[in-house]
Each structure stands twice: as structure tokens, then as C-alpha cells.
Amino acid sequence: MWIIVDKRIPAGAKEKLSRYGSLMEFESSGIVYDAISGHPDIFMCHTDTGLILAPDTPKVYFDFFTKQNIPFKTGKKILGKKYPATSHYNAVVSGKYLIHNLKYTDTAILDVCKQKIHLDTKQAYTRCNLLALDEHNFITSDRNIEKILLKQSLNVLFVCPGEILLPGFANGFFGGCCGVCQKKIYVIGSLTYLNSKNDVIGFIERCGFEVIELYDGKLFDAGGIFIINS
């Protein structure tokens, strides 16, 4: 199992994550603004048929995925220095849904998601703000996304992002702290540092998931944890 994370996550989180799989530590320079330059969810979209990579992702990662036989396709839109040009690959894809601001979604993502239900959001940093536990259960830090999911009669919990760390910004977002694999939710940080910790833990447990907290500290938005079974 390969685990793709921002190279800058806390050392304790790296150490614990490495117990569950092999780490691929992601970084870039000069492509997007520094705060998100190592965020996997900016450079790639995790779909059920493989990764969709921004064409200006550093070549070393194309070579890595090829060598490891990790399936991927190359997107069409290059990334830019500022939002929304940084958001083309920041979509959430599940077995049933494509959730994103569809005005900005790369065409390669749209192509592989033709048969899915498309949910159009105002927030183009959708993966940052939304964690899909499965087809029915979601956690978000965005009220518009919450509203859209509730209209689909989905089970959704809103988590205020004010206590989440993202160096360079006032706060990060819940989805950017997490990854999901085989009924486990990996969290960069500890939920005990959230005022809403009881609501979050209760929601996750009712959905049948286990929380793996990766270090003892505030939640750290690192552009998500992408887990690839290979």
C-alpha cells in the first residue's frame, strides 16, 4: 500500500503512517503558492479507476507511478499560481458521485466520471473541504457542500474549520487532514483538539469507521492523505 502525503507533515505523523504502508512524500516548487505546494489534492484527483495528474506535476512523480504500476492518466489543465487555477483537480470522486465546482473541473476527470451523478459546488477546493467516508456518509467544512449533500438525502456532518492548522493561512479544512481506506480514517492530528470532538467521533463511529490519529496535536491540513492499494 502506498500512502501519498505532503512532505511537510509532522514527523510523528510520518512515523505512524509508515506503519500502515510505504510513504511517498510529495513536494513541488514554483508551480502553485507555497502553502499548498506539497498538497496531493492540488496536483492529483483520486478516482476509482486511478489517479488523474495535473500535466505540470513534477516529472519525478510520473516516473514513480509508472515504476510502481500505479494507474494514472494525465489531465489537460495546467495549474496556476492563484485560485481557481489551483483547483482543477481538487474534486471528490466516489463510486456514485463526482463532487466539485464543475466550471473548473479538468476534462480528464469529467471523462472518467461520465456515468456518475455530478454535484456542482460553489467551493472549488472541494477535496480540501470534504471527506467521503463512503457513498452515503460525508464530513465537510463547507456549508454550501453540506447543503448540496443534504439535498441528496446523504448523511453529512459539518465541522467548523477554525481550529485546523494550515501554515500561511488562518485555518485549514477538515478534508485536507484525512484519508480513508478499508473502514479506517487516518487523521493528521488528534480529534481531541476540536471543540466538536464528541460530535465528530460519534458520527464516525455510527458510520462504522475507526479513527487512526497520527500525532498528538491540532489537526493539520496537508492536502489529504491519498492511499493507493497496489
User: How high is the mean pLDDT in each 10-residue block of the chain (230 residues)?
Assistant: 97 97 97 98 96 98 97 98 97 96 98 97 98 97 98 97 95 97 97 96 97 98 93
Domain that holds residue 64: 2-228
C-alpha cell of 53?
A: 495528474
Q: Phi-psi bin for 73: left (phi > 0), alpha (psi -120 to 50), beta?
A: beta
Do 105 and 39 form a contact (C-beta atoms < 8 A)?
no
Nearest CA to 95 among 114, 112, 116, 109?
116
Residue 217 class from Cβ within 10 Å (0-12 exposed, 13-18 middle, 19+ buried)? middle
Number of domains in the chain: 1
Amino acid at 181: C
What are phi and psi for residue 173, nearest 5 degrees?
-135, 155
Pair 79, 88: CB distance under 8 Å: yes
What is the C-alpha separation between 52 and 45, in angstroms, rounded? Answer: 5
Q: Residue 230: what pLDDT?
A: 65
Rounded Cα distance between 174 and 162, Å, is 10
- In 3D, which of 106, 129, 103, 110 has the Cα closest to residue 56? 106
Nearest residue to 131 via CA among 88, 92, 166: 92
CATH code for position 73: 3.75.10
User: How many helices (H) and strands (E) in the chain?
Assistant: 7, 15
Looking at residue 229, its pLDDT comes to 84
pLDDT tens-digit map of 82-129: 999 999 999 999 999 999 999 999 999 999 999 999 999 999 999 999
